[in-house]
Amino acid sequence: MEDINIISFGAGQNSTAMIILMKNQNFPITEIIYAETGNEMPETYVFLEHFKLWCKNNNLKFTEVKSHLGTLKDFYYMNKIIPYRMFRSCTHKFKIIPIDKYIQNTYGKKTKINMYMGISYEEQHRMDKIRGRKPITYFFPLVKQKIDREKCVEIIKAEGLPVPVKSGCYFCPFQTKKSWRKLYESHPELFKLSVDFEKNGKAYPSGNFMGNMTLEQLEHIIKEQRTLFDNEDIGLTKCAFCHT
């Protein structure tokens, strides 16, 4: 039986470059699986259309899966909670479970699966956070070939594809204050939705996306033209599954 080589696609720079690299090295790719949360950045959805066409032109099977719970935001909003950095279940519920369920239904629960993850060389510490059921063995081609994020961008440009923005929901709690400010400036409607989302949480205001201030407080600071010191950029832990 041939190996089943599944690629977990996050629609970011890492996993995009990894797929291009594997394709160019004639590596047998069984299927590319993307978990749609329903709340990605608008730029991500534009990029996805380009990428799906590229997959079609290169005879690569692209599959989009979704959670039975609906969109990530709707589920959390209905339950009056928000994703937190420390106590989050969004990745598990809306990415890992839908992908795993699809794999089980398609290939069987006991079938051995090779899963390829887009983690770049400088972020190899994230490999330890990847967990799954026993029949799945995880591989990290970018780490193995010592390819960092800068090289990933070069690979994508050389292939003629647009460079995607960092993947993740627009209200991702792993964002820095700089990222939130960028969202406020470039997508004010999404920032407003995020404020409403945060305020809907039953633990608000102590329960908020950034941990040390609410989005309304950040908005006030922006409007007052105060200087923001983004200490969160140093040593920020990323979600191992989402930001690929």
Helix and strand tally (H, E) in the chain? 10, 5
Nearest alpha-carbon partner for 75 in 171, 144, 143: 171
Question: What fold characterizes domain 5-159?
Answer: Rossmann fold (3.40.50)
- pLDDT value at residue 138: 94
d(CA 47, CA 83): 25
- pLDDT value at residue 130: 81
- pLDDT tens column, 124-149: 988 887 866 678 999 999 999 999 99
d(CA 113, CA 133): 10
Question: Residue 90: helix, strand or coil by DSSP?
Answer: helix
- pLDDT value at residue 171: 97
- From edge to edge, which strands make up the β-sheet containing 62-65? 62-65, 31-35, 5-9, 113-117, 136-139
- pLDDT tens column, 195-225: 999 999 999 999 999 999 999 999 999 988 6
104 Cβ contact partners less than 8 Å away, ≥ 6 residues apart: none
- pLDDT value at residue 241: 57
- pLDDT value at residue 105: 96
Q: Sketch the domain layout of the chain as residue ranges.
A: 5-159, 177-233
- pLDDT value at residue 86: 76
Rounded to the nearest 10 degrees, how much is the dihedral formed by the CA atoms of 64, 44, 196, 87?
60
- What is the DSSP secondary structure assignment for residue 169, as one 8-state letter? B
Name the stretches of the chain with pLDDT < 70: 1, 87-88, 131-133, 225-244
Measured CA to CA in angstroms, residue 237 lies from 85, 204, 212 at distances of: 9, 23, 16
Nearest alpha-carbon partner for 177 in 144, 136, 212: 212
- pLDDT value at residue 231: 46
CA atoms within 13 A on the CB side of 156: 23
